[in-house]
Structure 1
Amino acid sequence: MKRILLWSLLLCTVNVFAQNFQGKAYYQSKTTMETNWGGRELSEEQKKRIKERMKGFLEKVYILDFGRTASVYKEEEKISAPGQGGGGGFGRMMMGSFTQGRQYKDVQKGVLMESKEFFGKKFLIKDSLPKLEWKMEGETKQIGKYLCFKATALKKVDELDFTSMRRRDRKKDEDKTAEEKKQDSIKAAKDPFSQVEIPKEILVTAWYTLDIPVNQGPGEYWGLPGLILEVNAYKTTILCSKIVMNPEEKDPIEEPTKGQEVTRKEYNEIVKTKMQEMRDMYRGRGGRGGRGGRG
């Protein structure tokens, strides 16, 4: 009887620990982006100014609150410096219209939920959690005090993933004629997005540690036998800079509830429709301005 009571107490203690277990990981995300779209020859000073204005959009700090099966990934709150958060004109207007919210994923239920705000309207995107077919590469490296293992996978890119944008025309600017460069500039002025495209698929490299055996990672990344500490996906690197296990003040790991509930496909259609409206408006204003200048 004593043994039975002892085992029961031990099982209860393990169960309580499993329920209360929680960690907090801080990630620095950095994306590199070309600055010479549209065939324009930019000076180093111009490129530097563009990168500085885009810094708020391309460099962010995120926090992952994770438990055994669920996690919440959110951007660290901070006050943006004046002039940051977009390139300018149409691009700045579009980037400034997106507000990132909390991203919740439950690997046990296979659910991914994300709160977003677009042009002042709140949306709650709810979909199944995408699964990557990870390939274990056998390589290791040290990240902080954690021994990490390498894994790679091919990932389908969301059609609205602006961080994966690349130049549509692969022909180098130095190989173009003066007339081709002029036409590129005209097209870019009328429609900035005419010069770029988003790849259908990219190679993702992840580094995970078995020291924290949870099936979690930053953003939509998961599915490895340990916490993912680093992700390299096309032009974006996400690197863990700090981990706090069982913090004294635990943020709740809960599903977001506010906003109009939509699927990812439905949300993308809403955004694409609005983007087309804005492009038409921007193109129309540019056309009037051009005619007025020639007159």
Structure 2
Amino acid sequence: MKLKYILTIVCSILTGLSASAQFVNFPSEGVIQFEKRVNMFAIFKRAINKDNESYMQMAFDQYKKTQPQFKTLKSTLSFSSGATLYTPQPDQQAAGQNFMSFHPAASQPNTTYIDLNSRTFITQKNIFEQNFLVKDSIRNIKWKITDETREIAGYHCRRANAIVMDSIYVVAFYTDKIPVSGGPESFTGLPGMILGVALPHENITWFATSVTEKSGHAATIKPPTKGKPQTNTELKKTVENSMKDWGAIGKEALKPIML
């Protein structure tokens, strides 16, 4: 009798788990809210070198007294099974501008459309008040998936690591519960949606704060159309020529521009 009672309980639990599993939601269309955080103290400190420390250190000390350590920026990622559109929202910390607020890492210049079927992208980049329309193949990122996991915006995510642009170390967290190989900015290529990205050495992160399913949303996902046409290679050459006299600071600023 006791054994029969235990078996009945176990069967009830398994039936409940099976029923729950049937109702797990796997959204293929929707909108993800992202928050980008930039450690401005770290970026400012990296800009100081032996050639400029006489005035840059003084400026850094003053900056720390008047500005927050982290700059926070918000964006949205609209997604469907075939495309994504990453759109920055207006900068809410734009008041009280200072020269570090114009650092490319402290802004969100990219509106990026990715066609997941053709593996191409179209990005409208606003660089130094000039719009470029960059069309090219999406970056082929060689991810290494690990066993580390964490929860982001209510989704169980797995960690993956990679190197992009030859030197930028990337940590990403993706979920296979959203069966779209997309992510913030131009980060793609994992077996599910990327909900978190960290560039530890660049002191920048993007993490999702919410995911909203929206049926029929695919029709609203359209590429940007304004800007001077360029490929990635052409844009890099254009920006390098513009910053050729910037020295080490120019090389550092090029990374977030081309990301």
TM-score in terms of structure 2 length:
0.69
Q: CA RMSD in A?
A: 3.1
Larger displacement relative to structure 2 (137-146 or 247-256): 247-256
Q: Partners of 1:220 and 1:23 in 2: how far apart?
A: 18
1:227 aligns with 2:234: no
The answer to whether the Cα contact below 8 Å between 2:80 and 2:217 also exists between their aligned partners in 1 is: no
Tell me if the contact between 1:65 and 1:251 (Cα under 8 Å) persists in the aligned partners. no
Provide closer, same or farther for how the CA distance between residues 150 and 79 of structure 1 changes in structure 2, counting only shifts above 3 A: closer
Asked if 1:25 corresponds to 2:32, the answer is yes
Q: Which string of whole-angstrom CA distances, capped at 9 and with x for unpartnered residues, describes residues 258-290 of structure 1?
A: 22211112112222222347x59xxxxxxxxxx
Residue 136 of structure 1 pairs with residue 160 of structure 2 = no
- SS, match of residue 220 in structure 2: coil
How does 1:155-166 map onto structure 2 within 5 Å?
Answer: 155-156=164-165
Structure having the higher helix fraction is: 1
Equivalent position of 2:7 in the other structure: none
The unaligned stretches of length 5 or more in structure 2 are 1-26, 248-259
Amino acid at match of 1:29: K
Equivalent of 2:181 in 211, 215, 219 = 215
How has the CA–CA distance of structure 1 residues 118 and 206 changed in structure 2, closer, same or farther, with 3 Å as cutoff? closer
CA deviation string 1:140-159 (max 9, x = no partner): 22223211111111222xxx
Paired residue for 2:252?
none
Q: Which runs of no fewer than 5 residues in structure 1 stay unpaired?
A: 1-19, 157-199, 281-295
Residues 1-295 of structure 1 mapped to structure 2, 5 A cutoff: 21-32=28-39, 33-36=42-45, 37-38=48-49, 39-40=53-54, 41-42=57-58, 46-49=62-65, 51-52=67-68, 58-78=71-91, 80-84=93-97, 86-87=99-100, 92=102, 100-156=109-165, 200-234=166-200, 235-246=203-214, 252-276=220-244
Query: How many residue pairs were aligned?
Result: 209
Label 1:85 to 1:220 Cα distance change in 2 as closer, same or farther (>3 A). Answer: farther
**Higher Cα Rg: structure 1 or 2?**
1
Report the 3-state secondary structure (helix = DSSP H, G, I; strand = E; otherwise coil) of the residue aligned with 1:222: coil
